[in-house]
Amino acid sequence: MNKHYALIIDDERDIRELLTLTLGRMGLIVETAATVAEARQRLAERRYALCFTDMRLPDGSGQEIIALVAQQYPEMPIAMITAYGNVDAAVEALKAGAFDFVSKPVDISVLRRLVQTALRLSDEKRSEQATSVGKLIGDSATMNELRATIAKVARSQAPVYIAGESGVGKELVARLVHELGPRSSAPFVPVNCGAIPSELMESEFFGHRKGSFTGAQADKDGLFQAANGGTLFLDEVAELPMHMQVKLLRVLQEKAVRPIGAHAEVNVDVRILSATHKNLARLVELGSFRQDLFYRINVIELKVAPLRDRREDIPQIAARVLERLAGDGGGTPAQLTPAALQALVNYEFPGNVRELENVLERAVALCEHNTITPADLRLSASAERTAGTATPVAAAPAPATASAFAFEPPEDAGFPSDLAAAVAETERAAIMKALEATRWNRTAAARNLGLTLRQLRYRLEKLGIE
């Protein structure tokens, strides 16, 4: 079994001894340094499994050490030792490339968890990383840069904010960050913040105790407890109401939650990833999203480019989608004619990859002889459906799994009235079922149906549903 070496950089003798004793009991061989100069010499002499550095040193700062490690020893996790409550220093360390931070006075249980996580990260195989990042399809410069950034931020424990339009694949990016990091064997818990009714949010996020409110018939763990040791992905984080933003900020600061009805807090070890298709900085300016929370979840920002900005990736993505659709149906992949492929490359795709999947699924169902022509794509219908409503942060058209709602026949289609009535009744039943399942939360119902909220409102009005 390989020996793990750890380096402790701190000018306080008591801290060095405490960390040396704790890490030694965990089976590590510990070496120490009291200055930046000593640390540089140690790092040049040996490869360490992990490193701790104080923020302030006699001949410099811990930031210098973090920058050096990020540049010359990127495979080594490094954690900052900060004064209690010095959040700004911790955030700056994470931005500079630190794996995590620990506050003085050092909590031994927190330190042990941090070390265990760091060792898992240090032992990861880079070949596995390359395979996982390959799930992002495309060889454009934009995608290559995104892959490299994901591999870099995955080794950190800093909160990551994933920005991008609807349909670009923000959850896929979040999953990759999780899979490439030291928490990959622990849970990845995604939650759509816009799909949880406001009055149930606190219970869903933090859990509750039996009898704490009407209907609480048993203890229930929340999403934070479910993700303990792993990653919690807050999708559409902009939809959080203000009272939940306050509570989330406190959890991020204290790393503990208090279930409803509980008398004590429960420690949680969770990495937070978040995303939204909205302009979160603009919402901060408008006062609908807390600035302090924005800074805490946006320590590292990943921007996912829209499909129209990487058109050279469209043929590769389309081929992969057609292979998947053929696999689902047990047949051979449909083929795009050169004209059809060119039509896809020229199209704006306001709904991004999700819309491309939807367009191709519809085309496979409509095409003859397993060959897709421009007419089968019906891109003009898609453009008409989104014209005037798509913005850089607009909701995407229906995903591939909701193709029943993805296309509306033109007014002059000539369908007999009885068929139109049957279609309307089927649509009404599906919408009512979705609304009842989400307790009449229209945003959540629209998402489950694969519609935008605007599309659902139109159908509610058309069908006379109040």
Q: Is the pLDDT of residue 407 over 60?
A: no
Q: Is the pLDDT of residue 403 over 60?
A: no
| Beta bridge pairs of residue 274 | 161, 234
Rounded to whole angstroms, the Cα distance separating 302 from 298 reads 9
| Beta bridge pairs of residue 8 | 32, 52
Tally Cβ neighbours within 10 Å of residue 404. 13
pLDDT band for 70, please (50, 70, 90 cuts): confident
Model pLDDT, residue 458: 66
Range of the domain at 93: 5-122
SS3 136: coil
Percent of the chain with pLDDT over 90: 32
Same-domain pairing of 21 and 80: yes
Model pLDDT, residue 124: 54
pLDDT band for 388, please (50, 70, 90 cuts): very low
The alpha carbon dihedral of 61, 62, 65, 67 has a sign of negative
Q: Is the pLDDT of residue 36 over 50?
A: yes
Rounded to whole angstroms, the Cα distance separating 422 from 193 reads 35
Residue 125 identity: K
- Mean per-residue pLDDT, 381-405: 37
Same-domain pairing of 345 and 455: no
Model pLDDT, residue 427: 77
Model pLDDT, residue 233: 94
pLDDT band for 104, please (50, 70, 90 cuts): confident
- pLDDT, tens digit (0-9, with 9 covering 90-100), for 222-239: 899 989 999 999 999 999
Same-domain pairing of 16 and 158: no
| DSSP state string for 346-380 | HS--TTHHHHHHHHHHHHHHH-BTTEE-HHHH-HH
Q: Is the pLDDT of residue 264 over 50?
A: yes
Q: 352: domain CATH number? A: 1.10.8.60
Tally Cβ neighbours within 10 Å of residue 171. 16
The answer to whether 282 touches 294, Cβ cutoff 8 Å, is no
Same-domain pairing of 161 and 298: yes
Model pLDDT, residue 345: 94
Q: For the chain, what is the domain count?
A: 4
Percent of the chain with pLDDT over 70: 85
Model pLDDT, residue 85: 62
- Mean per-residue pLDDT, 230-249: 92
User: Residue 353 is encoded by which pair of tokens?
Assistant: 């990859």
- pLDDT, tens digit (0-9, with 9 covering 90-100), for 363-376: 988 888 889 999 99
Which residue from 23, 27, 25, 43 is spatially nearest to 35, judged by alpha carbons?
43
Same-domain pairing of 273 and 179: yes
pLDDT band for 291, please (50, 70, 90 cuts): very high
**CA distances, 86 to each of 35, 255, 395 (Å):** 21, 15, 38
Q: 32: domain CATH number? A: 3.40.50.2300
Q: 260: domain CATH number? A: 3.40.50.300
Same-domain pairing of 181 and 207: yes
Which residue from 293, 122, 127, 154 is spatially nearest to 231, judged by alpha carbons?
154
pLDDT band for 121, please (50, 70, 90 cuts): low
**CA distances, 103 to each of 20, 24, 183, 198, 228 (Å):** 16, 20, 21, 34, 20
Same-domain pairing of 317 and 275: no
Q: Is the pLDDT of residue 269 over 80?
A: yes
* End residue of a domain, out of 62, 93, 122: 122
pTM: 0.57
Average pLDDT over the chain, rounded to an integer: 81
Same-domain pairing of 144 and 281: yes
- pLDDT, tens digit (0-9, with 9 covering 90-100), for 321-364: 898 888 766 678 899 999 999 999 999 998 899 899 889 988 98
The answer to whether 60 touches 130, Cβ cutoff 8 Å, is no
- Mean per-residue pLDDT, 237-259: 91
Q: Is the pLDDT of residue 445 over 90?
A: no
Model pLDDT, residue 405: 43
Q: 438: domain CATH number? A: 1.10.10.60
Any idea which of 102-106, 155-159, 196-200, 395-399 has the lowest mean pLDDT? 395-399
- Mean per-residue pLDDT, 82-93: 75
pLDDT band for 432, please (50, 70, 90 cuts): confident
Same-domain pairing of 71 and 206: no
Same-domain pairing of 288 and 348: no
Phi and psi at residue 233, to the nearest 5°: -105, 115
- pLDDT, tens digit (0-9, with 9 covering 90-100), for 10-30: 999 988 999 999 999 888 999
Rounded to whole angstroms, the Cα distance separating 233 from 36 reads 37
* End residue of a domain, out of 407, 436, 457: 407
Same-domain pairing of 228 and 295: yes
Model pLDDT, residue 386: 42
Same-domain pairing of 40 and 142: no
- pLDDT, tens digit (0-9, with 9 covering 90-100), for 295-327: 999 999 999 999 999 999 999 999 988 988 887
* End residue of a domain, out of 107, 122, 137: 122
